[in-house]
Amino acid sequence: VGEPLHLYGYARSMAAYRVRVALRLKGVAFRETFLDLRAGDQFAADFLALNPEGAVPTLIAEDGATLSQSLAILEYLEERHPEPPLLPAGPAARARVRSLANLIASDTHPLLVPRVSAYLRDEAGLDERGVVAWSRHWVSRGIATAETRLARDSETGAFCHGDTPTLADICLASLGLLSQAAGLQLRDAPTVSRILANCEAHEAFRIGEG
Ligand SMILES: N[C@@H](CCC(=O)N[C@@H](CS)C(=O)NCC(=O)O)C(=O)O
């Protein structure tokens, strides 16, 4: 038995949460070092040497490779530990799941990270209300698009694609975390709410370390 994987994360990070949930779903042992992003730990020289982007998650994999970007890490885990699968069979189904995952992880979440809020506040001159309004706007828009697609598509089941969790659920649950923290109601998103409740009931999706 080799060293457990080493995850660099942050308790409130949506992107680190995605990797934590995938590791738990796959039953892969890991240990986690928590950075404090509010204190600027991501800009410490030894961390920047690992990940020049200054962002979590960063994962030291089995073979010592240093991995970053949550979606790339999820795909790595899927290839390295295929069971249980987090992507469905068939190219169109896999593209649907990846598309839903990207809707959240590529088109929504990057607008909400600390470096963007800091720029809006410090460089673009937005006050705190403006920054909150910005975040709410993009979260609401991401959730509204997810709701339209999930409510419309026949592939939607107990989870985003069928009845077992996929990469899409991991990403949706990560946004659910943030919308809760931002005090956003999911009133107008019944399908998203139903899927998030199924995620919440699943042990691997619990919030917190380990
Ligand atoms: N697209 C990246 C996002 C990584 C990212 O920006 N993570 C945030 C925390 S959720 C971070 O470390 N931010 C540091 C900062 O904004 O200074 C991923 O999915 O891994």
The predicted-structure confidence for 22-70, as pLDDT tens digits, reads as follows 999 999 999 999 999 999 999 999 999 999 999 999 999 998 999 999 9
Gap from CA of 33 to ligand 1 centroid (Å) = 15
What mean pLDDT comes out for the span 158-185?
90
DSSP secondary structure code for residue 3 in this structure: P
DSSP secondary structure code for residue 113 in this structure: S
Token code pair at residue 159 = 């989870």
Atom 19 (ligand 1) nearest CA: 70
Identify which has the larger pLDDT, 161 or 1.
161
Instruction: Specify the pairing of strand 58-60 against strand 30-34.
Output: unpaired
Gap from CA of 114 to ligand 1 centroid (Å) = 8
Gap from CA of 135 to ligand 1 centroid (Å) = 15
Gap from CA of 97 to ligand 1 centroid (Å) = 21
The binding-site residues of ligand 1, defined as CB within 6 angstroms of any ligand atom, are: 10, 13-15, 37, 42, 54-57, 69-71, 105, 110, 113-115
* 105 contacts: CB under 8 Å, gap ≥ 6: 15, 18, 70, 71, 171, 174
Atom 2 (ligand 1) nearest CA: 69
63-97 per-position pLDDT tens digit: 899 999 999 999 999 999 999 999 999 999 999 99
